[in-house]
Amino acid sequence: MKSPAFSYYQAKDLADAINIKKSDDDAVILAGGQSLLPTLNMRLSSPSVLIDIGSINELKKIKVEDSYLIMGAMCSHSQIMNNKEVNEKFPILNKLLAQVAHPAIRNKGTHGGSIAYGDPAAELPAFAVLVNAEIILSGPDGERTVSAKEFYKGLFETAINSDEILTSVKYPINQNGMKLFFDEVTRRHGDYAMAGLVGSIKQNNKINEEINLVFFGTGDRPNEAPKTCEYLLKNEYNYSDIKDTLKNDIDFASDISSSSDMKAHLSAILVGRMMKELN
Amino acid sequence: MSNLNKTTISMIINNEDYNDLNVETRQHLGDFLRDLGFKGTHLGCEQGACGACNVLVDGESVRSCLMLAVQANGKNITTVEGLNSSEMEIVKDCFVKNNAMQCGFCSSGMLMTTYEIVKSNRKYSREEIREMISGNYCRCTGYQAIVDAVEDSLNKINVGV
């Protein structure tokens, strides 16, 4: 359980970090390290250089600007949970982050790290997709913005190029009257979800006008479920129909804890909980 | 790029300065502290699951197996040997009185998490205490007594009252 050898470089600023990243394809960004260090300790990865961006203070800020809540990549989960602005604009984030690992890990784990790592079982990528977040990437040619919906390409695969660094995530504060939902089923508190759901409903005179569902722990990336959303706009919730429709939407991937059918079952249960809570 | 596999770091550990120590960049903080003689930091899983290796970095609990020693350069570290504020003396006393340890392997990590609970200065239900210590495994399964000890500590310190 000891990491292989690597070089360590503490970046002075963003330009410095991008320079090193550009010069070495095997260099890896070290943010909070709460996913990276276990993989190093287990020798599942062996980067040439770790570029530590932990001392770049501009990446540690939470701001409200132009109707966006902006999280710097190096904001820790604990910092976000304790931020007044976040708790006012997106109270659901506090509930969601309380399910991300444990206090000692949330003190170190970062927002940008979780979004950039793209673990399909993680909560934050699904949340970013649900609320239409914009992901800011910085590279040698400057900044570009990628919509969270376009960001996740496959298992741990994202739109980040090898010479780019994720610098912040922008959440549109105006969610058009959508009510948000989060729940997950885990075997142990703080463990990865067997299946999880972030969802939203917009109602007009108690009639559902729009429904969005994004699942995590179910496939190779955050999974949207457009057919199920459409079904729910026209029909009452019904477990077996929802489970069937979900199977049309999502290619449920089994893992060590549950079969793909089990994942579909849990997802259908979660949709039921959401319809009950938000209706 | 030059070989940066080794470097020199300095930090404060339990209020004492440690300067210009050589370290391999791949070494995690837990191993680094134990090599310096702080054997109260226990290494269980070394993948962030068990919580036995928790230490305080600038006053926040952190898994020392999931932090490189080089990342702690310039920081203020507290290991279980340095948990001696008057409040933590009460906590340790409550752990002893409630038999909140059997083999003791998890205790230093449990105390770090309890520090975090005490620091937040509010009331906790037993359920919330269980949630907070859910990141610390006790393989003797002494959780009941540990929850008792944390609850007892909070009552004695009058947290959130």
* A100 shares its domain with A168: yes
Domain total of chain B: 2
Q: Is residue A210 part of a domain?
A: yes
- Which residue range is the domain that position B104 belongs to? 84-157
By DSSP bridging, strand A49-52 and strand A7-10 are parallel
* B71 shares its domain with B118: no
**Separation of alpha carbons B112 and B53, rounded Å:** 9
**Separation of alpha carbons A111 and A181, rounded Å:** 20
* A63 shares its domain with A168: yes
* pLDDT for res A188: 86
- For residue A205, what are its two tokens? 């005179």
* A94 shares its domain with A168: yes
* B92 shares its domain with B152: yes
* A109 shares its domain with A132: yes
Q: What rounded mean pLDDT belongs to chain B?
A: 95
Q: Is residue B35 part of a domain?
A: yes
Residues facing A43 on adjacent strands: none
- Which residue range is the domain that position A183 belongs to? 179-278
* B16 shares its domain with B45: yes
* B91 shares its domain with B64: no
Q: Is residue A117 part of a domain?
A: yes
Residue B63: closest C-alpha in chain A: A104
- For residue A111, what are its two tokens? 């927002």
**Separation of alpha carbons A120 and A118, rounded Å:** 6
Above pLDDT 90, what percent of chain A?
96
Using CB atoms, pick whichever of B63, B70, B113 lies closest to residue A8. B70
pLDDT, tens only, A237-246? 999 999 999 9
Round to the nearest angstrom and report the end-to-end CA distance of chain A: 49
Q: Give the CATH number for residue A239.
A: 3.30.390.50
Phi, psi values for residue A215, rounded to 5°: -100, 150
* A73 shares its domain with A145: yes
Q: Is residue A239 part of a domain?
A: yes
Tally of CB atoms within 10 A around A104: 30
Q: Which residue has the tokens 């996913």?
A: A35
Residues on chain A touching B62 (C-beta within 8 angstroms)? 104, 107-108
* A47 shares its domain with A67: no
Q: Is residue B1 part of a domain?
A: no
Q: Is residue B15 part of a domain?
A: yes
Answer whether B93 touches A (CB < 8 Å). no
* pLDDT for res A1: 74
Q: Give the CATH number for residue B102.
A: 1.10.150.120
ipTM: 0.93
Using CB atoms, pick whichever of A4, A42, A108 lies closest to residue B26. A4
* B66 shares its domain with B91: no
Phi, psi values for residue B121, rounded to 5°: 55, 50
C-beta contacts of A256-261 below 8 A and 24+ residues apart: A257/A187, A257/A194, A258/A194, A258/A195
Q: What is the Cα B52 distance to its own chain's centre?
A: 7
Q: Is residue A1 part of a domain?
A: no
Q: What rounded mean pLDDT belongs to chain A?
A: 96
Domain boundary among A172, A201, A225: A172
Q: Give the CATH number for residue B51.
A: 3.10.20.30
Residues on chain B touching A17 (C-beta within 8 angstroms)? none
* A37 shares its domain with A80: no
Question: Taking the C-alpha atoms of A190, A193, A194 and A196 in order, what is their torsion angle to the nearest 10 degrees?
Answer: 140
Domain boundary among B81, B101, B129: B81
* pLDDT for res A244: 98
Domain boundary among B48, B81, B114: B81
- For residue B151, what are its two tokens? 């609850």
* pLDDT for res A189: 82
pLDDT, tens only, B98-156? 999 999 999 999 999 999 999 988 999 999 999 999 999 999 999 999 999 999 999 99
* B75 shares its domain with B89: no
Residues on chain A touching B48 (C-beta within 8 angstroms)? 34, 37-38, 101, 105
pLDDT, tens only, A158-215? 999 999 999 999 999 999 999 999 999 999 888 889 999 999 999 999 899 999 999 9
* A47 shares its domain with A62: no
B159 pLDDT higher than 80: no
B3 pLDDT higher than 60: no
B1 pLDDT higher than 60: no
B2 pLDDT higher than 50: no
Q: Which residue has the tokens 């800011």?
A: A136
* A194 shares its domain with A241: yes
Looking at CA atoms only, how far is residue A75 from chain B in angstroms?
15
Half-sphere exposure at residue A92, Cβ-oriented, CA atoms within 13 angstroms: 20
* B12 shares its domain with B26: yes
Domain boundary among B40, B58, B81: B81
**Separation of alpha carbons A46 and A205, rounded Å:** 56
Mean pLDDT of B76-104: 96
* B72 shares its domain with B119: no
Q: Is residue B113 part of a domain?
A: yes
pLDDT, tens only, A121-152? 999 999 999 999 999 999 999 999 999 999 99
Residues on chain A touching B25 (C-beta within 8 angstroms)? 5-8, 50
Report residue B160's pLDDT band, with 50, 70 and 90 as the boundaries: low
* pLDDT for res A239: 98
- For residue B92, what are its two tokens? 């340790």
- For residue A104, what are its two tokens? 């000692």
Domain boundary among A18, A36, A52: A52
State whether A108 and B67 contact (CB < 8 Å): yes
Domain total of chain A: 3
Q: Is residue A74 part of a domain?
A: yes
pLDDT, tens only, A76-110? 999 999 999 999 999 999 999 999 999 999 999 99
* A87 shares its domain with A168: yes
* pLDDT for res A145: 98
* A234 shares its domain with A253: yes
